[in-house]
Structure formats: C-alpha cells, structure tokens
Structure 1
Amino acid sequence: MQSELVMPSGIETSELDVGQQQGSSNRPLQLVTLENSCGTRVTLCDLGASLYSIHTRDRYGHSDNILLTYADPQHWLENNWYLGVTAGRVANRIGGAQFQLGGATYQLPANDGENHLHGGPQGLHTKRWQVVQSESTARFQSVTFRCVSDDGEGGYPGKLVVELTYCLDEKDALTLEYRAVSDADTPVALTNHCYWNLAGRDGILEHELEIYADHLLRLNEQLIPTGELLKVDDTPVDFRKRKTIGRDIEWWPGGYDNFWVVDETAEKVLKPIASLVHPASGRSVKIVSSEAGVQFYSGNFLDGSRNRDGGSPMNQYAGLCLETHGFPDAPNHSNFPSVILQKSEEYRQTTIYQFSTE
C-alpha cells in the first residue's frame, strides 16, 4: 500500500494495473482483501476507499461477486457511475451547486446539470486513500483508510481529515465506520455508492426489497428536494412490505432515485434501514445504520456502455444502490436535520451490511 504499514497475516494485498496514461493516474490500484470462514471475501481499493467486490455464497454454496465491478481497470479511473466509492464531502445532490454557511455563500462545481453531485469532480471518490491501520483476529479482519481534503478543495471550507474502517467479522457482517474532523465548519455527509446485485448476474428487478420508512422526500424535476415529505402509503414507493423491485417500477417515471426517511430526527443511533433479498439464490443483505435514511437508486442511468467483471454489459437495472446518509441538499433546507460538522467536533457514521442466505 501507500504507507509503510505491514499487513497482518490473513489479509491479502494486490495491485491492479490501469495501463499507461499521462500524469500519476497510471499508478496501479492498491487492493486489500478481507475474508471470513463463512466464505465471504471483501476486496477494497485505495481509489475512493472503494468496495471493489464482495464474493458471498448462495444457498447452494456457489460463490459470486454480488457487486457491480468494472471489467476494464481503466474505468475505475473515470468511474462516472461511482461504483463502490466513498461519496463526499456531501453525498447526493446540492441544489444550485451552492450553499450558505456563516454568512458566506460557497459556490461548488456543477457536475449534475445545474447541481452538485457526490462532492463534485474533486470529491473523495477521486482521491487515493492511505491504509493507516489493519487487524486480523479470530473474530474479524479490518482495515482503516485515511484521506485529507484541503481547505477550499471542491469549493468546501475547512481542511477535512477522514478515516473509514471496514471490518468483516465471523458473524458475516461488514461494518463501515466513518470518522472525520475539520478545522472549520463545513457540511459532511458520507456514504458508500456500491451497486448490489445479489444474483451475481442479470438484473435486479426480481430482487425483493424492504425499506423501513413511512416517508420519502419530494423532489423537483432535477431530483432536488423541495423540502416536503411524502407519505409512501399506497404508492409505487411503498416498500414497507417486501416486494420485487420490478413490480411497480414502471409506475415511477425514470425508475427509483429517491431518499426514504427512516428517522426524521436523524438521531445518530443504529437502526434497521432496509433488507434486500434475491429469492432464487437465497442471498440477502440487511442494512443497519446510524443515518437518517437511504437513497435507493435502481441503476436507471446504466446504459450498457461498460462491462462488468463477468463480461456482460451493465445495462439499466443491472445493479442498485442503497446509500445511507443524511438528508440530501440539507445545507439549503433549514427544516432538514443539519449536516454541518462544527469545527474540531467529530463526524461519525456507521453502516452495517449483514449477509445471510434464506
């Protein structure tokens, strides 16, 4: 890895050649793999502190990669679909690519029409993170990544130092622990943007999803929150009872790309967020998080222009995202729970993926 850290026995490291390009981007990607006795293998990448792949067994003992992973390593350098990355400083969209804080207006890069998306072109997903700690015991394997975002980078105030620990345990749970501090007040809302496909192939319309939320945020035509909460009762976005993703998607124009509000108070306590099941393979993942809710994105903009690791094109609905974070566009809505990290205070976020078979 980039540091002098020596990995403990049992944690694998490797490199992925991304070919010859101008600048420093032709450095090989650094990969770290965690593994448990359940047969789960989690491979992480230093670029964006990303979830590169997750291999789990189905009910028949067959192992598949249950994330979308680019077949061409060079696509990780572009990654316009944000596969597996740590999204931030502020995940999701900021309307008008600006916000006000402390009496000042901060202009951000507009990389999603007129709006700012996932921290912009200089977001945390573009940075090479450094491995600063690792551990391997009889109960778990873990690795901690760190990166620094300088004051003014991406338009954001304050020098931000972020650490992200991945821990895979023997109960088949993968825990993501985020921590961050800043030397000035600044908005922070981090998440992982991996695309799930529990079948390991085909699409996700036959997956069954449950989201423990009574409301979601109303959006305008640019997918920016209006500030209103909508009840999900008797609508295509009601996932309070498990149902196939394909059942009602045609009644929701453009496919799902919304924020479901699990906890309107945004209290930082662990709570069940969602459960995803692929009935044919028996694989399931349950998501528990400290965050207010989840952005469920059904892979609407995947267009088949890039292939996944098995060689098949990643077409629309090839994978789905379940991004746990604070309210999107929160800096521009006084009625939303704040995502402002105060100077010298600590940002913390925990999300747990519990794997199992049914």
Structure 2
Amino acid sequence: MIETNQIEKVSWGKVDGKEVYLYTLTNASGSQLQVSTYGAILVSFLTADKNGTMADVLLGKDSLEDYLKNDCYLGATVGQFANRIAKGKITLDGVDYQLATNNGPNFLHGGDKGFDSHVFDIVEEISEEGINSIVLSHTSPDGFENLPGNVTLKLTISLTDENEVVLDYSATTDKKTIVNFTSHPYFNLKGEGEISDHTLQLNCNFYTPIDETCIPTGEIATVKGTPFDFTEEKVIGHEIDADHEQTKIGIGYDHNLVINKPLGEFGLLGVAYEATTGRAMEVYTTEPGVQFYTGNWLEGDLGKNQTAHIKRQGFCLEAQHYPDSPNQPHFPSVILNPGEEYSQKTVYKFVVK
C-alpha cells in the first residue's frame, strides 16, 4: 500500500526521445492525484465520497501512448493561448500574425502543437507538512506556432491535506506576446455515467455570447433569463438542451462566463455537487473568466479501461481569460511584455456533504 502524504514518480515512456514521468501525489486522507510530465496532464484524482468509497473523478486515458492522441484535451495544460482566436489572426504593434486554424476556421488551445503536446521539465519536488507539490516548466521558442517570444511557463501542481488541487502558473517572455493558460480537466463527481444530474452554482452574472463558429460576438450579456443563469444552484441538465440560440450553437454549454470579482483578485468561481455521492467541488481562481463546457463532443473518445466516453460524461470549468481577447479590446488584456510576469492561481477543492 502507498504510504500517505508523499510523492511518487515512475517512468511512463518517452516522447521524441525525452523521458516522461507519471507522478502520484498522496495526501493525509488518502486522496491521490496523478500528473504526467507530458502536457502537464492531470491524469486521475482518487477521492472519497460521503461513505468513504474512493473513485476517480477525472476523465482520462490509460497510457502515455493513448494521450498522444488527446483530441479532447483531457486534463491537459493548454496554452500558449487557451480557447479560440477568430480566424487565427492577431495583430501586435502593427504586425499581423497568422496562427493555426485547427478548430474549423479558428485557432484553438495553442494551435497544432500547444503546451499540451510537449514534455515538461521537472524543476522541483516539494513535500511539506500539509502539501505535496511538483514544479514543471516548458519554454516555447520564439516563433513557435507563429507566436512571438521565448515564453517560459512554470507550473506548480499541488495536493493539500485540505483536499485541494492547486495550480500556480507563472510565465515570462522576451518579446511582446499573448498568453492565456488554463488546465482542461473533465470532472465527473460520481466517477461514471453522465454529468447532467450534477448541480452547479457559478459566481457569474454575465457571459460572452458566441457566433456560429464559437467566437464571442463582443457582447457581454446578462445571464438573467437565459440557460446560463447559474447564480443559484441548478441542475446542469435542466436547460442544457433549451430552445435557445446559444445552447444550440454549443450543442449544450461551451461558453465563457464572467466571474463576479475584480480583475486579478483570487475568489470563488463556483461550486459543483453530486447528491448520490455527496461529493462537492469548490473552484477558486484569479482569472476573470471560466469556460464552462459539458463534454458535448466526448462521445466515442477513448477513455480509461479502453472504454469509449459517452456524450456529457464530464464537465469542465476552465479558468482563463475570455476567448478571442486579442481581437476584442474591451476584454481584459492578454498581452505579456518583457519584464512582466504572467501569474494565475486556480484551486479545485473537494469536500463531502
């Protein structure tokens, strides 16, 4: 049996000749978080329900080889720019950049080979009272995916004895560029089946409607009177297939919501809950927005135990800046200059009720 409150590392294979490791972080209550250095992927999270029964509440895959085809970005760290950019076009200081168009006509999640498709370097392993952490790093060279700047991301992934999965990001550049990092875990608090019966409350009074290609129209609209109103606890499936233009475009929820807090302040994003297990997940972040996605395109994707996922088997709460921010000046800025540091902290805290 694995002793509690420790860090374990095993070799998981190689990518492009570089060794990949699978870490297991264990806390005092026996919860276990697994992280791959390939893509800084959150592979699994075993945690107890109200009866003490452990289950894996993260969707994922069985092996490194399976993750080499991770079209749904299961658990991955995505960047240099998460989410979509219209037609893959940005302009910085009068210079036009054409990025990959890997999601219909648009750029998505770092392009053809984002941070999710690279092996991160191990910077440090830290085991202290009440918290176990690994520090990973990856540098994207100037011009990679046609983005300017040598951009270095340092990501600290921690598991605390309070059952918190903590993600601390910092990034620097040597040329003016754009950054928008996030983690892309799919959660299922039952550990199996569909997530439409989970309840959700989001600290979000506004959202950014999208066009038919899932790019924000530029409007920042109230959630009141729409299926996007989760200001009070609501069953996820209650209005997921509502007769509403926006849920029809997304085939459910695949939208950015605006978090009710000052820019850069660490605060509550929302709370998810599943009644039969009593598992709840509180989410906190410094980011201004959250991409709420209900796994509408998961069906057929190969998951753990070589079993195909079903539609809406997991939901995502991806803390980040708004989609297409480089082309929407009234959205919070995603520009990073030399001498500045990008920082983000996001926490997923698991409790039982």
Say whether the 8 Å CA contact 1:99–1:105 is kept in structure 2.
yes
Q: Distance in 2 between matches of 1:301 and 1:94?
A: 20
**Aligned-pair distance for 1:173?**
1.3
Give the alignment partner of residue 111 of structure 1, picking from 102, 106, 120: 102
Say whether the 8 Å CA contact 1:295–1:321 is kept in structure 2.
yes
Q: Which residue of 1 aligns with 2:346?
A: 351
Matched, 1:100 2:91: yes
Q: How does 1:147-158 map to 2 (within 5 A)?
A: 147-158=138-149
Give the alignment partner of residue 258 of structure 1, picking from 240, 244, 255: 255
Q: Distance in 2 between matches of 1:72 and 1:50?
A: 12
Q: Distance in 1 between matches of 2:322 and 2:72?
A: 21
Say whether the 8 Å CA contact 1:25–1:77 is kept in structure 2.
no
SS at structure 2 position matched to 1:198: coil
Give the alignment partner of residue 170 of structure 1, picking from 161, 177, 181: 161
**Aligned-pair distance for 1:327?**
1.3
Q: Distance in 2 between matches of 1:290 and 1:153?
A: 27
Matched, 1:327 2:316: no
CA distance 1:60–1:213, shift in 2 (3 Å): same
Say whether the 8 Å CA contact 2:203–2:260 is kept in structure 1.
no
Q: Which residue of 2 aligns with 1:279?
A: 275
- AA in 1 matched with 2:26: E
Q: Distance in 2 between matches of 1:16 and 1:323?
A: 26
Give the alignment partner of residue 291 of structure 1, picking from 280, 287, 294: 287
CA distance 1:203–1:39, shift in 2 (3 Å): same
Q: Which residue of 2 aligns with 1:78?
A: 69
Say whether the 8 Å CA contact 1:289–1:351 is kept in structure 2.
yes
Q: Distance in 2 between matches of 1:60 and 1:25?
A: 44
Q: Distance in 2 between matches of 1:310 and 1:356?
A: 27
Q: Distance in 2 between matches of 1:348 and 1:226?
A: 27
Encode CA deviations 1:232-256: one digit per residue, 9 max, x unaligned: 1121111111111111111022110
Q: Distance in 1 between matches of 2:285 and 2:320?
A: 9
Say whether the 8 Å CA contact 1:184–1:344 is kept in structure 2.
no
Q: Which residue of 2 aligns with 1:185?
A: 176
Encode CA deviations 1:240-296: one digit per residue, 9 max, x unaligned: 11111111111022110000001475x111010011111110111100000001000
Identity of matched residues, %: 34
**Aligned-pair distance for 1:14?**
1.5
More displaced stretch, 248-257 vs 69-78: 69-78
Q: Distance in 2 between matches of 1:160 and 1:181?
A: 6
Encode CA deviations 1:180-215: one digit per residue, 9 max, x unaligned: 000011100100001001111111011111111111
Q: Distance in 2 between matches of 1:305 and 1:157?
A: 33
Say whether the 8 Å CA contact 1:148–1:161 is kept in structure 2.
yes
Q: Distance in 2 between matches of 1:237 and 1:78?
A: 31
In structure 1, list runs of 5 or more residues that go unmatched: 1-8, 19-23
Encode CA deviations 1:301-320: one digit per residue, 9 max, x unaligned: 112241x2245421110111
SS at structure 2 position matched to 1:78: coil
- AA in 2 matched with 1:335: H
Q: Distance in 2 between matches of 1:221 and 1:156?
A: 26
**Aligned-pair distance for 1:75?**
2.2
Give the alignment partner of residue 58 of structure 1, picking from 35, 49, 56: 49
Q: TM-score, normalised by structure 2?
A: 0.94
Q: Distance in 2 between matches of 1:279 and 1:27?
A: 43
Q: Which residue of 2 aligns with 1:338?
A: 333
Q: Distance in 2 between matches of 1:97 and 1:64?
A: 40
**RMSD value over aligned CA atoms?**
1.5
Q: Distance in 1 between matches of 2:348 and 2:151?
A: 26
Q: Which residue of 2 aligns with 1:5?
A: none
In structure 2, list runs of 5 or more residues that go unmatched: none
Say whether the 8 Å CA contact 2:13–2:21 is kept in structure 1.
no
Q: Distance in 2 between matches of 1:29 and 1:278?
A: 34
Q: Which residue of 2 aligns with 1:45?
A: 36
Matched, 1:12 2:44: no
- AA in 2 matched with 1:339: V
SS at structure 2 position matched to 1:246: helix
